[in-house]
Structure 1
Amino acid sequence: MTSSNLLLEAHFLHIPKQASLSNGFRLVNWKKETVSRCGSSLCVDHVADLSERTSSLHNNNKAKPPRMVVFSSDGPITENKQDANNNILHSLCSYGKLTDACKLVEVMARHNQLPHFPSCTNLVRGLARIDQTDKAMCILKIMVMSGGVPDTITYNMVIGNLCKKGDLRSALSLLEDMSLSGTSPDVITYNTLIRFMCDNGNAEDAVEFWKNQLRSGCPPYMITFTVLVELVCRYCGSGRAIKVVEDMAVEGCYPDIVTYNSLVNFNCRRGTLEDVALVIKHILSHGVELNTVTYNTLLHSLCSHGYWDEVDEILSIMYETSCTPTVITYNILINGLCKAGMLSRAIDFFYQMLEQGCSPDIVTYNTVLGAMSKEGMVNEAMVLLALLRKTRCCSPGLITYNSVIDGLARKGMMEKALALYNQMVEDGVCPDDITRRSLIYGFCRANLVEEASQVLKETSNRGNGIRGSTYRLVVQGLCKKGEMEMAVQVVEIMLTSGCKPDERIYTAIVKGVEEMGMGSEAGELRKKLRQWKLLREV
């Protein structure tokens, strides 16, 4: 039996008792059929054993039925009744024998047997998942010709595969077959085809395709329309996209604010503010009201480009309309101002936010606290942090504490930084490497190297990673203070944690030994380090 033969294994089919043998399959002349069909694509296996078992079934009702029969597409399987073959088909699909299942469906079709439609659906989906598109389409065709109606998901999987292969003609043909079979295409079907056309330089074809679908009675899916308009804007420009919007209105497909927002968002991200103005003008001329999403998108783009006068104008419009600023609006403004170095104005917006009854979220607090800490406004940051701790809507997290601790450490206020660190732990917020690194750097700047070394040891004992630059800073600080024993301990911690000391660390240790008046010991240490190739020859 060749490798191309279809093997229907033991657990796929159990031979029934004698009565069902005569009804389910024909087991006569097995040897004859095997010899005559040994060159076919499918063969009968274990024939002698099966004959003996069949004889045993006739002579002794207590004999156990065999557990394995192997059939062929041109052999005894053709003698099976439809139900028996469908049982086999179901088992093949269940065990992932997709190639064998395909052959069985083809055999059943040649002998006018109706395949089990749910099994065919699973088979088509399985073939689509492994990119066997041609086989999937073949089974799909057999299923439809047999009276089956594949569902929309199955068609979408095959159409998606055809688009991936670049076979648009077959995908469109399958779309037509889909409608004729009684299955309605959905948003995913149309989106897949339209995206493929536009991404392959056929945006105009996509527009005509959607027009034709609307004329054929397709529902004016707003999601598909929005996708089409945004893709036309991307590949053909805003002017053409607006023209498409107007043309589609004639076909009964009217844009909503979501469609317009996609155009505004796309042009804002691209930085083409002239096109943004064109879209906004078109929106207003058609009596469509802008919503908060539109305003927030505009504000984000204007803040990114530093157009603060225009930002004030947009805010004035928002206050006059029903679209009052939300927490997202304020977060956009505060973040943009902080990035532009306009912290005082960002703080004004924060307190204006509170006056308007809009509760800041943790993003708002973290943005302001981070900017305050970088600007050295640590006292104001501590006041704001205390305000945050009193609120019910949110509580300080890791980023919050890290920002303020880093600001205090930069200012050398290590007593407050350490107190905030302890408060952080009490609140159940677990410090990370950034927290400890800020403390270590702060202690080193304040010439409190012993405290930095202690934090380093605690970090190492907890299994947290520390950068090599942090170790180097501590070692160099200890060496300058003459704490050579502690410096060596830090190097040992560094080696234990798997971090390799660099040449600057060894140089600092040698220099520290020299400054302690132990010149000969420093020279011997330098010599050994060079022998070990840890120091270069000068």
Structure 2
Amino acid sequence: MIDLLGKSREFDSAWSLLLNHLKKKNDDDDDNGVHSIVSVDTFAILIRRYARAGMPFPAIRVFEFAQSLGSNCVCVSNSDLFEILLDSLCKEGHVRIASGYVVRRKELDCKWIPSVRVYNIVLNGWFRSRKLKNAERLWNDMRKENVAPTVVTYGTLVEGYCRMRRVERAMELVTEMRKEGIEPNAVVFNPIVDALAEAGKFKEAMGMLERFSILESGPTVSTYNSLVKGFCKAKDLVGASKVLKMMIWRGFTPTSTTYNYFFRYFAKFGKIEEGMNLYTKIIQSGYVPDRLTYHLLIKMLCEHERLELVVQVSKEMRATGFDLDLATSTMLVHLLCKLHRFEEACVEFEDMIRRGITPQYLTYRKLTENLKKSGMAVMAQKLSVQMSSLPHSTNLPDTYREGGDRSRELRSSIIKKAQAMSDILKTSKDPRELSKLRNSSQNPVASANQLVEDIRRKFSRSSTIAETSDHP
């Protein structure tokens, strides 16, 4: 109940409920009743809800209130709840407040030294906020206070440096932790492999994989997935395929994430035959694709107008328990309209409504316009009635325009206006005109039109004045 009230931001009601239970406990000597209701979890829930609501200071007050109760009133471990408080604040972006609260606690109690878990939480918070200097300062404080780092600490540091594209420093940390007798594991190695592959340093990434392979913990599926992702982003399908074969040979089963990196590559570069070949192979091997796999395939096939394959994949998608969602149904309707198969488009449109999916207004407009042009006004009216019964937005994209390819026309118009502006600005010496464009609330084309017209008018006026002065 506290969680539900906090989720709806009914914090006053949540406090009333909490205080009532505490009051009952104080009035009743039976500890077995309320003791299990108001626990550390109760306060943890309230702290997290305050943090998610962007209210860090009330979250801190919850911790201090729980701390003031003491163990006689409620089962609260102050150290655990303190870590929950810091974790909640850091995850919601309040790392500076969390760090300040740690400093304040140290000032109030000179003998108190933060635990390694506290340091790990705040370190992770600084790296997530991309505050490298703050993270490094905290790491130095940790070393000065002789708090022994753990593999989680080094994993946090390595992942943070990799996220900041400082992979060389991350690799130095692996050497440091080994000197301290801490054996690296997947938490440490995976971010390095991922960062090296992301940067296209495949030789170093493969070398790190081999170093990782001789350890007892060894690489994980995520390690191989990082390499597959990197090769696919680098357009190196051969390299990605080699990693996939290595992965299978070493006893790892590829996941949907593994295969979807391949399908993203095929969809991006229109490799239909390769994509369908891989899809057929994984189906034959007994693998069941996930929704994203089907989405990527249907997107690729729709873009290349391969309707027969779209229908085939859609049927197989339904057979595996995935119904077409808004995105896939929309792509199918648009493809059918493009191929002038309006009756089938209407069937799919009505099926979307039957399944409880509200079609996009753009899809509705395109379909009804095509139906009217094709002499199918009755069907267009039927769809209009169905659409009017559904709550939907009637906003259209700025690039949409009836009866034409607005996006191509818009690009052409912007290029023409830009050229006209360039020609006129060569003779204009008034930079204030550009600031007018920058501050304008008009759309880009209207702003360009207005700017060109203003400059042309001023230029024309200045030319007239010059001619007049030449002929007194």
Counterparts in 2 of 1:331-342, with a 5 A limit? 331-339=225-233, 341-342=235-236
**2:194 paired with 1:300:** yes
Mapped partners of 1:231, 1:391: distance in 2: 43
Mapped partners of 1:193, 1:397: distance in 2: 37
**2:100 paired with 1:201:** yes
Q: Give the SS at the match of 1:201.
A: helix
Q: Determine the structure 1 residue equivalent to 2:111.
A: 212
In structure 1, give the amino acid aligned to 2:29: H
Equivalent residue in structure 2 for 1:398, among 287, 291, 298: 291
**2:247 paired with 1:353:** yes
Equivalent residue in structure 1 for 2:312, among 419, 428, 445: 419
Question: Residues 224 and 458 (structure 1 numbering): CA distance in 2 closer, same or farther, change over 3 Å?
Answer: closer
Question: Residues 470 and 258 (structure 1 numbering): CA distance in 2 closer, same or farther, change over 3 Å?
Answer: same
Question: Residues 165 and 464 (structure 1 numbering): CA distance in 2 closer, same or farther, change over 3 Å?
Answer: closer
Q: Determine the structure 1 residue equivalent to 2:185.
A: 291
Q: Determine the structure 2 residue equivalent to 1:191.
A: 83
**2:343 paired with 1:444:** no
Q: Determine the structure 1 residue equivalent to 2:442.
A: none
Which digits, 9 at most, give the CA deviation of each residue in 1:283-306, with x for residues without a partner? 233232211121112233344455
**2:160 paired with 1:266:** yes
1:398 and 1:431 in contact (8 A); partners too: no
Q: Determine the structure 1 residue equivalent to 2:346.
A: 453
Q: How far off is 1:414 after superposition? A: 0.9
**2:25 paired with 1:116:** no
Q: Determine the structure 2 residue equivalent to 1:16.
A: none
Mapped partners of 2:124, 2:108: distance in 1: 16
Q: Give the SS at the match of 1:212.
A: coil
In structure 2, give the amino acid aligned to 1:199: A
What is the total number of aligned residue pairs between the two structures?
A: 369
Q: How far off is 1:477 after superposition? A: 3.6
1:198 and 1:206 in contact (8 A); partners too: no
Question: Residues 413 and 247 (structure 1 numbering): CA distance in 2 closer, same or farther, change over 3 Å?
Answer: same
Q: Determine the structure 1 residue equivalent to 2:208.
A: 314
Q: How far off is 1:404 after superposition? A: 1.6
1:121 and 1:154 in contact (8 A); partners too: no
Question: Residues 338 and 486 (structure 1 numbering): CA distance in 2 closer, same or farther, change over 3 Å?
Answer: farther
2:161 and 2:167 in contact (8 A); partners too: yes
Mapped partners of 2:332, 2:221: distance in 1: 33
2:98 and 2:122 in contact (8 A); partners too: no
Q: Determine the structure 2 residue equivalent to 1:382.
A: 276
**2:328 paired with 1:435:** yes
* Farther off after superposition, 188-197 or 236-245: 188-197
Question: Residues 122 and 326 (structure 1 numbering): CA distance in 2 closer, same or farther, change over 3 Å?
Answer: closer
Mapped partners of 2:270, 2:43: distance in 1: 61
In structure 1, give the amino acid aligned to 2:100: G
Q: How far off is 1:500 after superposition? A: 7.4
Question: Residues 492 and 101 (structure 1 numbering): CA distance in 2 closer, same or farther, change over 3 Å?
Answer: closer
For the pair shown, the structure with the greater C-alpha radius of gyration is 1
1:479 and 1:508 in contact (8 A); partners too: no
Mapped partners of 1:349, 1:314: distance in 2: 14
Which digits, 9 at most, give the CA deviation of each residue in 1:512-531, with x for residues without a partner? xxxxxxxxxxxxxxxxxxxx
- Please list every run of 5 or more consecutive structure 2 residues that lacks an aligned counterpart in the other structure: 1-15, 51-55, 90-95, 405-472
Q: How far off is 1:257 after superposition? A: 1.0
1:475 and 1:508 in contact (8 A); partners too: no
Question: Residues 348 and 499 (structure 1 numbering): CA distance in 2 closer, same or farther, change over 3 Å?
Answer: same
Mapped partners of 2:45, 2:311: distance in 1: 59
- Please list every run of 5 or more consecutive structure 1 residues that lacks an aligned counterpart in the other structure: 1-92, 106-114, 127-150, 215-219, 510-538
In structure 2, give the amino acid aligned to 1:289: E
1:159 and 1:189 in contact (8 A); partners too: no
Question: Residues 211 and 317 (structure 1 numbering): CA distance in 2 closer, same or farther, change over 3 Å?
Answer: farther
TM-score scaled by length of structure 2: 0.60
Q: Give the SS at the match of 2:270.
A: coil
Question: Residues 445 and 221 (structure 1 numbering): CA distance in 2 closer, same or farther, change over 3 Å?
Answer: same
Question: Residues 365 and 266 (structure 1 numbering): CA distance in 2 closer, same or farther, change over 3 Å?
Answer: same
User: Aligned residues: percent identity?
Assistant: 21
**2:336 paired with 1:468:** no
Mapped partners of 2:393, 2:386: distance in 1: 10
In structure 2, give the amino acid aligned to 1:243: N
Mapped partners of 2:224, 2:18: distance in 1: 56
Question: Residues 99 and 121 (structure 1 numbering): CA distance in 2 closer, same or farther, change over 3 Å?
Answer: closer
In structure 1, give the amino acid aligned to 2:300: G
1:265 and 1:297 in contact (8 A); partners too: yes
Question: Residues 173 and 360 (structure 1 numbering): CA distance in 2 closer, same or farther, change over 3 Å?
Answer: closer
In structure 2, give the amino acid aligned to 1:455: E
Q: How far off is 1:360 after superposition? A: 0.4
Aligned residues: CA RMSD: 5.0
Mapped partners of 1:239, 1:95: distance in 2: 40
2:99 and 2:122 in contact (8 A); partners too: no
